Amino acid sequence: MTKIGIAGFGTIGKAVGKWVLAQPDLELVGVVGGDRAKVEQSLADLGADVPIMSADALALQADIVVETAPTAAFRDIVVPALTAGACVVTVSAAALIENMDVVDIARAHGGRIIMATGALLGLDAVRAAAQGTIHSVTMVTRKPPKSLIGAPEVVRQGVDLSALTEPLMLFDGSAREGARGFPANVNVAASLALAGIGPDQTRLQIWADPALERNTHRILVDADSASFELRIQNIPTIEKPGTGRITALSVIAAVEGLTSALKVGS
């Protein structure tokens, strides 16, 4: 039986936990959360008798650690898990870009990092194109203003998103810069960058659009093997509008791909 640990038991972590508990060949051995009372309530909602523990303790218990915590907790969760030789499944691509040394830690200790697709699509095609030559990758993200409230770059600009009556471009630059200015909103762009030509070459625009109810991403890739355009509209979660419902499902799909007899897609 594969032992699963979940670090970060908010909107995504709770959904993943519910799925793990329903799988006969998986065991949820522990969870990590910053607000113990909220984690206890979430576990009670699921009817789960699962211990709450530190990231260090979880690293010694789990074969696979699902990391869905806030960006600031990324290293505290991932480093112990990788040092213990565990597999880490995460959607925190923005945090990974700023902490690429964890790849060396994984390599040195027999650990592994799996970047789940998250709220994106087409990463298989981008990864395949990257085996040849990609000339350019551009991503245009448009979100309802409420999904972007509190982002560091929005705060820096002093924009009152609630007062918008027409679309406003908040950012136009590299994926690396975008990840710093919108760490909770652009994991999709960071994942795209890691799959393709890197965070400094991947171009990103971020718009706040009051006419939208869904988070929308449009990706254009020009490579020597193919040119393609991808577009997805993600339905936001009620609990956290900046997070699409499909994000938790992509984490579940990643874990399933690691533990099932059949995996579809590269």
CATH code at 123-233: 3.30.360.10
Q: What pLDDT is attached to residue 189?
A: 87
Amino acid letter, 199: P
Mean pLDDT for the chain?
A: 92
Q: What pLDDT is attached to residue 264?
A: 78
Binding residues for NAD(+): 119, 187
112-115 β-sheet, strand order: 26-32, 2-7, 64-67, 87-90, 112-115
Binding residues: 119, 187
Q: What pLDDT is attached to residue 255?
A: 95
* d(C-alpha 225, C-alpha 130), whole Å: 9
Which residue among the candidates 217, 219, 249, 251 is catalytic per the annotation?
A: 217
Q: Is 261 left (phi over 0), alpha (psi -120 to 50) or beta?
A: alpha
Amino acid letter, 261: A
Q: What pLDDT is attached to residue 266?
A: 60
Q: Who's near 203: CB < 8 A, 6+ residues apart?
A: 136, 137, 138, 139, 172, 173, 174, 175
Q: What pLDDT is attached to residue 242?
A: 67
* Of the candidates 24, 107, 33, 94, the residue with the CA atom closest to the CA atom of residue 66: 33
Strands 227-234 and 134-143: unpaired
* d(C-alpha 218, C-alpha 216), whole Å: 7
Dihedral sign, CA of 46, 48, 54, 59?
A: negative
- Lookup: tokens for 234: 């993600």
SS3 212: coil
Query: What are the sequence ranges of the domains in the chain?
Result: 2-119+245-259, 123-233
Low-confidence ranges of the chain (pLDDT < 50): none
Fold of domain 2-119+245-259:
Rossmann fold (3.40.50)
203-208 β-sheet, strand order: 168-174, 203-208, 134-143, 215-223, 227-234
How does pLDDT run across 113-167, given as a tens digit for each residue?
A: 999 987 777 888 999 999 999 999 999 999 999 889 999 999 999 999 999 999 9
Whether the model pTM is above 0.75: yes
Q: Is 135 a catalytic residue?
A: no
